[in-house]
Chains A and B, each alone.
Chain A
Amino acid sequence: MMKGFSSKAVHGDGAVKKDVHGALRTPLYENVTFEFENTRALQFAFEGRSLGHSYTRISNPTVEDFEQRIRLLTEARGVVALSSGMAAITEIILVLAEAGTNIISTKYLFGNTYSLFEHTLKPWGLEVKYVDMTKTAELKAAINEKTRAVYLESIANPQLQVPDIALISKIAAASHIPVVMDGTVTTPYLFRSRDFGVAVEVLSSTKYISGGGTTVGGLIIDNGLQDWGRCPRLQKAAQKYGPHALLAHLRREAHRNLGSCMSPHTAFQQTLGLETLALRIDRSCENALALARFLQARPEIKAVNYPGLESSPYHALAQAQFGGKFGGILTFTLTDKEQCYKLADSLALIRRATNINDNKTLILHPASTIFCEYAEEERQTLGVPSNMLRLAVGIEDVEDIIEDIKQGLETL
């Protein structure tokens, strides 16, 4: 039995089915439907009484291969792959909550997640309570009988706040409320959410996992910790499927009906990306730390925000939670927005693009892009000031990244 993350990621370690032709890489099953020997067999597959792919919107061999590899790496109960990280967040919230109920979250979120909560789900009658996740008294006070989930990010993007996830999980578990955590920035390589009491991890696999920004995808990971019978919307499924209630409900209803499936092509690409995940994360974390230290010493920079810096208020917690690696994202502030634009536009190697954990280092002005739909006042409450730039650090040689930033700073 292999124990190492990369060994498991590369080989599948028994979680992956052998190909009928002996292909060493699971082939790309780029098809829609599957034939059965007789109608009864088809009926059984639809009823869940037999294992069988029936339609690629519901499941597909190449997608299943990707899901099983993630399951192996996380030791989760099960995994569902989706068309994007936002699809994963949407699907899990729709399954756990409903009109007249609430979820508890923080304003320190990815901008599109905040928009999903505020602009897309609120009109359907979902209440979203925002608390400071670093103040557990606020969280405790917000929980009531209508609370269906606590939602947060392992490292908030782009605010880079690090919550005490074990403590938050403990508080939520006392009320039988599942913690749903977006682990995009850390991935299961840096953070084993199951060990910290997280019921469900969602990820944008577009980022670190895809490996080089090849494809858009998402994951829902059921860590197998939650008693779904205590979650009102899943009680019926729990009676039938017990601990598998969430996965069964997703696969046999919500995921099937919403149609937000991962394409086989994406699963093929992201399985390939998964194999080199650890190597790439190690490199980008090293680069990010070196870059953060460089920026911290420059007079043009007002402040650098990176959990890997000893000056970060989250450094000690991040060190303990993420095993001495702090992710590939950092932010820094300049005098004003104009200075940010000038610096970003002067860069040659670093690309101006919105993504994180690409192989390439990317720079972004979050206030005018991901958070452009919010007024300046609201952006301040979201922790996204207009004088802040975000660097999503890639895997290039760090000397080249630093040299590019250096020449850019000299233009200010």
Chain B
Amino acid sequence: MIITVNGDRQTWEEQKLSIAELLTLNKVEKPDMVSVQLNGKFVDKQDYGITMLAAADEVDFLYFMGGGKA
């Protein structure tokens, strides 16, 4: 599945992928410190695990705090 994350095309072998799994694959260690937009729409944090991605989706991770990598 090819997904665009923060403007970069990412190819994943997984056929099913939730936002929570995508965050893990992208090594976002503190998902509570990131807002996620799926195709331009904000996704509620409590829905990260149940929101499934589809091929060609565009996902943006938006960090609301300053800070180096966890």
List the B residue with the shortest CB-CB distance to A56. B66
Please tell me if the beta carbons of B68 and A48 are within 8 angstroms of each other in the complex. no
Please tell me if the beta carbons of A61 and B68 are within 8 angstroms of each other in the complex. yes
Question: Which of B44, B45, B65, B70 gathers most chain A CB within 10 Å?
Answer: B65
Which chain A residues in 48-95 approach chain B with CB under 8 Å? 48-54, 58-61, 64, 67, 78
Partner of A240, one of B33, B62, B63, B70: B62
Please tell me if the beta carbons of B66 and A239 are within 8 angstroms of each other in the complex. no
List the A residue with the shortest CB-CB distance to B41. A239
**A233 close to B (CB within 8 Å):** no
Please tell me if the beta carbons of A49 and B68 are within 8 angstroms of each other in the complex. no
**A383 close to B (CB within 8 Å):** no
Alpha-carbon separation in the docked complex, A51 to B60 (Å): 13
Please tell me if the beta carbons of B66 and A49 are within 8 angstroms of each other in the complex. no
Counting residue pairs across A and B whose Cβ atoms lie within 8 Å, the total is 71
Interface string of B50-65 (1 = CB under 8 A from A): 0000000000111111
Alpha-carbon separation in the docked complex, A48 to B7 (Å): 13
Which chain B residues in 3-17 approach chain A with CB under 8 Å? 6-7
Alpha-carbon separation in the docked complex, A133 to B2 (Å): 57
Question: Which of B6, B45, B61, B63 gathers most chain A CB within 10 Å?
Answer: B63
Please tell me if the beta carbons of B35 and A244 are within 8 angstroms of each other in the complex. yes
Please tell me if the beta carbons of B42 and A51 are within 8 angstroms of each other in the complex. no
Question: What count of chain A residues pass the 8 Å CB interface test?
Answer: 26
Given A50-B6, A239-B42, A240-B35, A251 and B68 contact (CB-CB distance below 8 Å) = no
Given A44-B6, A243-B45, A51 and B33 contact (CB-CB distance below 8 Å) = yes
Chain B residues whose C-beta falls within 8 Å of the C-beta of A17 in the assembled complex? 68, 70
List the B residue with the shortest CB-CB distance to A229. B42
**A247 close to B (CB within 8 Å):** yes
Alpha-carbon separation in the docked complex, A44 to B34 (Å): 14
Please tell me if the beta carbons of A58 and B35 are within 8 angstroms of each other in the complex. no
Given A240-B42, A248-B35, A51 and B63 contact (CB-CB distance below 8 Å) = yes
**A-B contacts besides A78-B64, A241-B62, A244-B35, 4 pairs, CB < 8 Å:** A51-B63, A51-B70, A67-B65, A248-B62
